[in-house]
């Protein structure tokens, strides 16, 4: 009787899955809804989320994901509309079959013959975009030029699916499939297949992010997506979401005590206590139209603000004690966007528009005459002192591409540091003076003199000398507000930044 009951339950479960109905709710699956074996696998797989490491661990068997049907293990959730799926994925151990694989998958249903598309990394290094256009059709494949990718991103925009893959530290390599109609509501998730029905393979997925991008009609500076406040470990590239809100917060500074961050939102300034995970409004008096160009002095005692004043021509620079108080106006007219203090606190450097040309200026921190430091045609922006005060780093579009430059504090010896492969913005020097982190936009998405919200961007790292190829340390959906201000931790080991997504898909805080 017991065996008959077990057989009946197994039969009903198989009908449940073949119908495309969702599996029963399971615990400890992070942002996902269910964990399911797809197809008639011999060895059941599993999935779990580790809240301490913020990683997902999957095991799965199955003959393959190929031809007209599939067998594998799937960790999924249901979604509608457009999305961007990101992870750093890897297989564990040597494995048995070279075509075991892990990656992202989007399916019409949980049926083994469902139409689908997946971005997969194979055990032998093959990286490919595989898809089945209709139920029961043969699987097609587009192979990437890149092999041994460990960064996998799969993006949907309408019926177009884009795979972006990389070896961590390098830019994405892209492949695309158009006119693939999987329906509006689909299953999206992580998967593992062993390519051998008798074998269970294991894989890990870290820095898993599901982002919902801006809709085509979004009006910049009127409509905003939600924001994730993240911390990045520079050595490992591991990311952690520590706070999220269904509105725009921007440009986190890391305070010198190492215990608090500072950012702007809705024109106000906020401190964020890392231990408590809670923000608090910082008193800036009547100055309440603050933008994302705010900078702490090197000793952390003073805060420089940029705040819009329409009657004075736009953004005006103020200074205020870092603990809050009544701000002091520094620049008499705008637009003036603050980016740096000198180490001795005597000088502020900012981007100013004077005579319809944006250049870099210095001004005494107590107020006084401005000194123009750059005169090249095109936008010069994002100036920041090195901790020893010997140089200023900034970005400029003077060559037709936005690049990072270095100059002496008096504006002499202006030299390019990056090579123009991307549009590079906002160089920030680590407190130990050894590294620069900066934001890179894709040339196909933005103009050289623009740094908009809600684009594909990289955080890249370069030695302060400028020697060598920049390393990608984060692959982000963001842009404006992601890292406009200095955001290194005092020990030069971490960086705080903002990523974005629609409110319906805010990443959970990873405690």
Give the DSSP letter string of 436-472: EEEEEE-TTTS-TT---SSEEEEEEEEETT--S--EE
pLDDT score for 6 = 39
Are the C-beta atoms of residues 360 and 349 closer than 8 Å to each other?
Answer: yes
Are the C-beta atoms of residues 141 and 129 closer than 8 Å to each other?
Answer: yes
Using CB atoms within 10 Å of the CB of residue 415, give its burial: 0 to 12 exposed, 13 to 18 middle, 19+ buried: exposed
pLDDT score for 26 = 67
Question: Would you state the structure tokens that stand for residue 11, as one six-digit string?
Answer: 């039969």
Helix (H) or strand (E) holding 7: helix 2-18
Question: Would you state the structure tokens that stand for residue 186, as one six-digit string?
Answer: 């689909």
The strands making up 34-38's β-sheet, listed across from edge to edge, are 34-38, 72-79, 186-193, 101-107, 116-122, 127-132, 140-143
Could you check whether 23-211 and 226-505 share the same CATH topology? no
The strands making up 455-463's β-sheet, listed across from edge to edge, are 423-429, 435-441, 455-463, 471-478
pLDDT score for 24 = 42
Answering whether pTM is above 0.75, one says yes
> Which residues share a beta bridge with 127?
121
355: left (phi over 0), alpha (psi -120 to 50) or beta: left
pLDDT score for 333 = 96
pLDDT score for 274 = 98
From residue 338, alpha-carbon distances to 108, 264, 364, 493 in Å are: 50, 14, 12, 25
Please list the rounded mean pLDDT of every run of 10 residues in the chain (511 residues): 40 40 62 97 97 96 98 98 98 96 98 98 98 98 98 98 98 98 98 97 98 96 97 97 97 96 98 97 98 98 98 98 98 97 98 95 98 97 98 98 98 97 98 98 97 98 94 98 97 98 84 66
Helix (H) or strand (E) holding 302: strand 302-309
Question: Would you state the structure tokens that stand for residue 270, as one six-digit string?
Answer: 């906020």
Are the C-beta atoms of residues 295 and 339 closer than 8 Å to each other?
Answer: yes
Number of Cβ within a 10 Å radius of residue 445:
14
Q: Per this entry, what is the length of the chain?
A: 511
pLDDT score for 12 = 40
CATH class of 226-505: mainly beta
Question: Would you state the structure tokens that stand for residue 253, as one six-digit string?
Answer: 């500074």
Helix (H) or strand (E) holding 6: helix 2-18
Domains in the chain: boundaries: 23-211, 226-505
Number of Cβ within a 10 Å radius of residue 24:
10
CATH of domain 23-211: 2.60.120.200
Residue 23's Cα: distance from chain center in Å?
31
pLDDT score for 196 = 97
């Amino acid at each position: 009787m017991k065996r008959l009951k077990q057989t009946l339950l197994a039969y009903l479960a198989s009908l449940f899955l073949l119908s495309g109905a969702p599996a029963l709710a399971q615990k400890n699956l992070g942002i996902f809804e269910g964990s399911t074996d797809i197809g008639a696998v011999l060895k059941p797989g599993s999935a779990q989320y580790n809240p301490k490491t913020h990683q997902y661990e999957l095991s799965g068997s199955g003959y393959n994901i190929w031809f007209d049907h599939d067998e594998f293990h799937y960790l999924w959730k249901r979604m509608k509309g457009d999305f961007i799926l990101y992870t750093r994925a890897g297989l564990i151990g040597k494995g048995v079959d070279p075509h075991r694989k892990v990656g992202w998958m989007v399916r019409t249903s949980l049926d083994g013959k469902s139409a689908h598309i997946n971005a997969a990394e194979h055990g032998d290094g093959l990286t490919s975009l595989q898809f089945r256009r209709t139920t029961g059709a043969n699987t097609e494949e587009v192979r990437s030029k890149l092999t041994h990718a460990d960064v996998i991103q799969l993006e949907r925009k309408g019926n177009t699916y884009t795979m972006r893959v990389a070896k961590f530290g390098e830019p994405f390599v892209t492949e695309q499939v158009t006119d693939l109609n999987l329906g509006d509501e689909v299953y999206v998730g992580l998967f593992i297949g062993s390519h051998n029905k008798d074998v269970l393979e294991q894989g890990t997925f870290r820095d898993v992010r599901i982002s919902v991008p801006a809709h085509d009609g979004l009006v910049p500076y009127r409509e905003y997506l939600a924001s994730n406040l993240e911390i990045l470990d520079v050595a490992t590239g591991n990311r952690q979401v520590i706070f999220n809100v269904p509105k725009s917060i921007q440009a986190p500074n890391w305070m010198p005590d190492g215990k608090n961050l500072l950012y702007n939102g809705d024109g106000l300034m906020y401190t964020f206590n890392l231990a408590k995970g809670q923000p608090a409004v910082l008193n800036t008096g009547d100055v309440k139209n603050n933008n994302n160009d705010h900078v702490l002095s090197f000793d952390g005692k003073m805060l420089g603000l940029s705040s819009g004043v329409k009657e004075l021509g736009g953004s005006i620079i103020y200074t205020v004690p870092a603990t809050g108080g009544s701000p002091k106006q520094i620049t008499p007219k705008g637009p003036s966007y603050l980016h740096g203090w000198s180490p001795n606190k005597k000088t502020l450097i900012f981007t100013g528009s004077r005579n319809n040309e944006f250049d870099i200026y210095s001004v005494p921190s107590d107020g006084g005459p401005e000194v123009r430091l750059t005169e090249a045609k095109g936008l010069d922006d994002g100036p920041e002192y090195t901790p020893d005060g010997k140089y200023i780093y900034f970005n400029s579009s003077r060559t037709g591409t936005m690049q990072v430059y270095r100059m002496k504090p008096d504006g002499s010896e202006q030299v390019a540091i990056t090579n123009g492969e991307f549009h590079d913005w906002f160089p920030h020097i680590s407190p130990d003076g050894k590294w620069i982190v900066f934001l890179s936009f894709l040339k196909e998405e933005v103009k050289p003199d623009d740094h908009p919200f809600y684009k594909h961007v990289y955080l890249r790292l370069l030695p302060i000398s400028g020697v060598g190829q920049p390393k990608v340390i984060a692959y982000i959906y963001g842009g404006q507000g992601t890292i406009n201000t200095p955001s290194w931790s005092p020990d030069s080991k971490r960086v705080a930044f903002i990523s974005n997504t629609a409110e319906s898909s805010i990443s959970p805080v990873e405690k």
